[in-house]
Structure 1
Amino acid sequence: MTALVIQPVTINDVPALSELWYTAFSIPVNLRMFPDTPGVRAWWDEINRRDLLYNPLRKLFKVVDPTTPDFVVAYAKWDLDPSESGERFPLWHKESDHETCERLFTGLSEERKKLLGDRKHYCKD
C-alpha cells in the first residue's frame, strides 16, 4: 500500500477542491447554502483561487496518493492569522441562501471570538 502525501495546492487543483467539497458535504443544509450549480461551483473556485494567489495568510494543502497524483483525496485551508487575513468569504453567490450562510458563519465567528478573544490563533476552514 502506498502512503498518502500532503502537498501544497496548485492553481490546477482548484476545480478538484470544489468537486471534493460537494462529494463530502452534500447534506441538505449545505446544499441550501451552496446549491450544486455551475455558478456556485465557480464561486467556490474563485474563493480558493483568490486565497491561493493573493492571501499569504491562507495556506491550502491537498492529500494525494502518489500513484494517482492528479486525484485529490482530501484538502484543508489553514488561516494563519484570522484577525489579519481579511474576510473569509466574498459576497454570497446569488443562488445561495444568504440568510442561512450569514447565520452560520457569523455565529461561528462570534463563538470563536468568545472563546479565543484577541489571542492569536490558527483557523482551519
Structure 2
Amino acid sequence: MPLPLTLTLHEASKTDIDELVHVYFSAFQSPLSRLVMPDVPGVRAWWRESLLRDWERGFWRVWKVVEWEEGGQEKIVAFAKWSVPHGEGQGKEGKEGEKEVKKEGKDRWPVEGNPEVFEQVFEKVVRHKREALGDGGEDRVFYLSIMGTLPTHQRRGAGSLLMTEFCRQADASPRKERCYLEASPKGKSTYERYGFETKSRFSTVVNGEEYVNCCMVREAR
C-alpha cells in the first residue's frame, strides 16, 4: 500500500514554471499527446512561454498540489490551469491578451510538434465548446484547460484537491458561473462526481487510432 501523502493546495507562481512543465510531460503520454507535443527542448520552451503569457493575460488561474518531502522541500505533483469568465480579474493586460489569443493563427503552435494535427484538434475543441455552451456562453464560463498529475501520484487525492478548488471558485463567483472541460471517456466518471454532464463528443483519428473527447458542463450552483 502507498504511504499516506501530505498534500497541500496552493496558487502557482511564475517561479514554478519549470516544475509545471515537467508535470505536464510526465502526465500526458498518449500517442496523440506525444505526436502533437513531443518532449523535446523546443516544445518545452514553448510551454514555458505559453504559461508566462497566460499569467500576463490576467484571466487564467494556475493552481498546484505540493507534496512536502523530508527537510521541508516541496515537490509539485499536480497542477491545473483554468480561465475565469471574461471581464473578471482581467484588467487592461487581460483584455489585451484576450484579443491577442483571438488573432493568433497557426504560428501559435510549436514547430517541433505537429501544428497540422494540433490545429485540427484545436478547431474541434473551439467548435464543440461553443455548441455545448450556446451563443455567448464561452465568455461566461470557468474553463478547465489542463489538469495533470505525476503518474506516481495519480489516484492519491491531488486531482480531487484541484477539482474542489476549481468548482469552489465558480460557485463563489458573483454570477455563480457554469464550468466546462473536455475529458476522455475513461476519465469522465471522475468529473461526473463533481456534477459535470457530457453534452457532446468529438474524435480525432491519428495513425488509424481514434481519440475521443467528451465535452462536459457543470451548471451554475
How would you bin the TM-score normalised by the shorter chain? 0.7 to 0.9
The 5-angstrom pairing of residues 98-109 of structure 1 reads 98-109=115-126
> Identity of paired residues, percent?
27
Q: TM-score, normalised by structure 2?
A: 0.51
The correspondence of residues 20-99 of structure 1 with structure 2, limited to 5 A, is: 20-52=23-55, 54-67=56-69, 69-81=73-85, 86=98, 87=101, 91-99=108-116
Where has structure 1 moved over 4 Å in runs of 4 or more?
82-85
Instruction: Tell me the CA shift for residue 92 of structure 1.
Output: 0.7
Distance in 2 separating the partners of 1:76 and 1:69: 21
Q: Give the structure with higher Rg (CA).
A: 2
Matched, 1:124 2:126: no
Q: Could you say which structure has the greater relative contact order, defined with CA pairs below 8 angstroms and 6 or more residues apart? A: 1
1:114 aligns to 2:116 (yes or no): no
Q: How many residues align?
A: 124
Gaps of 5+ in 2: 88-94, 146-221
Structure 2 residue 19 is the aligned partner of structure 1 residue 16: yes
Whose strand proportion is higher, 1 or 2? 2
Matched to 1:77, the amino acid is: K
Q: Structure 1's 39 and 73: CA in aligned 2 closer, same or farther, altered over 3 A? A: same
Relative to the length of structure 1, the TM-score reads: 0.87
Q: Which amino acid aligns with 1:101?
A: F
Structure 1 window deviating more from structure 2 (76-85 vs 9-18): it is 76-85
